[in-house]
């Protein structure tokens, strides 16, 4: 396993397994067990995914010692504010059946996210959380938060893939000592991702798949990746990305694919914001 060192000295795997949209308990437990047996050590869940219990069950049954695993979860919007966030941290610990969580993030920058962050800071000091950070924070809100909290965010998890490379956001995260983590590294298949001719051509040079090329590109740009698949063979393939290095010419080719806009949503879209802040868990 390859690691990146967070700003507090904690080591985080460079590749992990995400469980977004695997709400069925039995299926989620099986997928997490498969991922851990393949070699994944970072498992990424969230309160809003409704599968923290399943992740906890799998971790308990996997046979790998807890200190060798890196578990991430996220606080949802409805738990905004200090008191609600504090209770939700304890609720996540209970659901995950753990004494500590390796990384906890604010899932979205809405409601009283300062209150959430202060609750995470205190939980960090109490040893309940080993690292804290944010998710989906655009550069403006990320900079604002960074200037007015005691503990600098260790991670910012944002949509990142070949069509939305987040170059400016990455530059800012690097400046503030925050690790860039990608959700949706395959763009969830949008824009016919898995048939992209440029990625396919590059992959043929290394005897690698389009998915492997896309992950390798992000890793070589110092971005942590958390690909998701419910298929064991694809989990293995996604994990097998450390035995080759993309040449500079191929990196440049993929860099040119950046369209610099989200394929999913915008926080500047009022209809999206209204919809997401009314999403209950």
The residue count of the chain comes to: 281
Catalytic entry in 3, 17, 20, 49: 49
Instruction: Evaluate the CA torsion angle 20, 25, 30, 35 in order and state its sign.
Output: positive
Residue 274 contacts residue 183 (beta carbons within 8 Å): no
In sign, the C-alpha dihedral spanning 202, 185, 28, 69 is: positive
Establish whether 100 is a catalytic residue: no
Phi, psi of 72 (to 5 degrees): -115, 140
Which residues, other chains included, contact 35 with Cβ-Cβ below 8 Å and sequence gap of 6+?
17, 43, 235
- Measured between alpha carbons, how far is 55 from 44 in angstroms, rounded to an integer? 9
What strands lie across the sheet with 103-106, from one edge to the other?
16-18, 42-44, 70-75, 103-106, 132-135, 155-159, 179-183, 223-225
* 102: Cβ contacts below 8 Å, ≥ 6 apart: 10, 12, 69, 70, 71, 72, 129, 130, 131
For the chain, the maximum distance between any two Cα atoms, rounded to a whole number of angstroms, is 54
Q: Is 107 annotated as a binding residue?
A: yes
Binding-site residues, in ranges, read: 107
Annotated binding-site residue numbers for substrate: 107
Active-site amino acid positions: 49
């Amino acid at each position: 396993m390859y690691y990146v060192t967070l700003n507090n000295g904690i080591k985080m795997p460079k590749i992990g397994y995400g469980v977004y949209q695997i709400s069925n308990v039995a299926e989620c437990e099986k997928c997490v067990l498969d991922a851990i047996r393949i070699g994944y050590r970072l498992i990424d869940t969230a309160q809003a995914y409704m599968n923290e219990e399943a992740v906890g069950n799998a971790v308990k049954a996997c046979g790998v010692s807890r200190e060798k695993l890196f578990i991430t979860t996220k606080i949802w919007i409805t738990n905004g504010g200090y008191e609600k966030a504090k209770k939700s941290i304890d609720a996540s610990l209970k659901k995950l059946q753990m004494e500590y969580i390796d990384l906890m993030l604010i899932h979205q920058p809405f409601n009283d996210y300062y209150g959430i962050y202060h609750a995470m800071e205190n939980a960090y000091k109490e040893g309940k959380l080993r690292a804290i950070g944010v998710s989906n924070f655009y550069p403006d809100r990320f900079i604002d938060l960074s200037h007015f909290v005691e503990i600098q965010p260790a991670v910012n998890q944002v949509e990142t893939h070949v069509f939305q490379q987040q170059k400016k956001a990455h530059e800012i995260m690097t400046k503030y000592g925050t690790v860039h983590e990608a959700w949706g590294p395959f763009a969830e298949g949008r824009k016919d991702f898995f048939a992209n001719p440029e990625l396919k051509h590059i992959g043929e040079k290394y005897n690698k798949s389009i998915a492997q090329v896309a992950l390798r590109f992000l890793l070589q740009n110092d971005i942590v990746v958390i690909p998701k698949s419910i298929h064991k063979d694809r989990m293995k393939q996604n994990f097998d990305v450390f035995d080759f290095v993309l040449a500079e010419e191929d990196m440049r080719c993929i860099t040119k694919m950046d369209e610099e806009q989200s394929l999913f949503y915008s926080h500047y879209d009022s209809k999206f914001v209204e919809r997401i802040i009314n999403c209950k868990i």
